[in-house]
Amino acid sequence: MIIVMSPGATEQQIEAVVKKIKEYGCEANISRGVERTLIGAIGDERQINQELIDSLSGVEQSMHIVKPYKIVTREWHKENTVVDIGGVPVGGKTVQVIAGPCSVETQPQMDAAARAVKVAGCRLMRGGAFKPRSSPYAFQGTGIEGLEMFRRAADEQGLPIVTELMDVRMLDTFLEWNVDAIQIGTRNMQNFDLLKEVGRVNKPVILKRGMSATISEWLMAAEYIAAGGNHNIIFCERGIRTFETAYRNVLDVTAIAVLKKETHLPVIVDPSHAGGKAWMVPALSRAAIAAGADGLLVEMHPTPCEAWCDADQALTPEELIDLMGELGGIAKVIGRDI
């Protein structure tokens, strides 16, 4: 940590800072400039309470040098981590597309969706049985019955399943139904108790970015999961909230590049919740893969105009086939496959 003293800071104030640093088990290195004195804290600076240092008189500002997250950072783990979802690798050379409806509705709908996912060449399926809806009066999902329908349809096609966990009390049920990857949704990115619980199980977790979460907050949320022992984490950028109202959210393509630099864990993109319109999905998907995303989470419904949730952003089965073809070309250019 580096502590910048205010111009004119007294010897007593400098000494008080040095004393505090030593209390945290670090050594202090004092550098006296013409106008200001800088104090470097050497040692395990994560122990230092930054707010407390900033409150000492004569301190102008302080900054951490070491990242506050340990397990998820690339600093200590240079190679890309490949997360295995039910035998399908995410984060390797192959770009993985997780496709399926926003929500699990009926058995025929899920059977048709699973067939369409398979025909398009995708290896993983999505579908929400528990839905986080803005209104308590909107369709809330088919619940446990939905998990059952999802599992049956996906098993028929040999597809591992990805579904959202909102309530920690449902974790055991998710394990019983052998959910292959647990999705933590945007609204729960900072539900720390939920993160701690999924950190205790040995299931891949897809961690969506909070609506207005910074990259650092997102990485810290992943660190909560990793700290519990579960390192099978995949980041999912799904668009952030801005002043723009012409589309549902703004796909933060920059986040892909930044995360790939900051973390060794896979990064995927949800173009459906970013744009909010089916016609935007191909363009956003192409951009995501070109920018280095390891995969996509895409909404596709056998009959979008009948979808119970997010009808406007769901691709048709035919559109998913076309998208997979286009993405194959992009993957090839950047030395990957799909």
Q: Which residues bind Mn ion (CB under 5 A)?
A: 102, 310
According to DSSP, the β-strands at 295-299 and 181-184 are unpaired
Q: Are 288 and 276 in contact (CB under 8 A)?
A: no
Name the β-bridge partners of 205: 182, 233
Pick between residue 3 and residue 99 the one whose CB is nearest to ligand PEP: 99
Pick between residue 71 and residue 98 the one whose CB is nearest to ligand PEP: 98
| CB 55, min distance to ligand PEP, A | 37
| CB 236, min distance to ligand PEP, A | 7
| Contact with ligand PEP (CB under 6 A) among 58, 86, 91, 128 | 128
By beta-carbon distance, which residue lies closest to ligand PEP?
185
Q: Does 238 bind ligand PEP (CB under 6 A)?
A: yes
| CB 131, min distance to ligand PEP, A | 7
| Contact with ligand PEP (CB under 6 A) among 100, 185, 204, 317 | 185
Q: Are 118 and 155 in contact (CB under 8 A)?
A: no
CA 23 – CA 5 distance, rounded (Å): 19
| Contact with ligand PEP (CB under 6 A) among 39, 53, 99, 102 | 102
Site for ligand PEP in 258-287 (CB under 6 A): 270, 273
Selection from ligand PEP, Mn ion, none that 185 binds (CB < 5 to 8 A by kind) is ligand PEP
| CB 127, min distance to ligand PEP, A | 9
Instruction: Report the half-sphere exposure of 174 (CA within 13 A, side-chain side).
Output: 27
What are the start-end ranges of the H helices in the chain?
A: 11-23, 50-54, 107-119, 143-157, 171-176, 192-198, 215-227, 253-262, 271-275, 281-290, 317-333
Other residues' Cβ atoms within 10 Å of the Cβ of residue 176: 10
CA 293 – CA 286 distance, rounded (Å): 10
Residue ranges binding ligand PEP (CB under 6 A): 102, 128, 132, 185-186, 208, 238, 270, 273
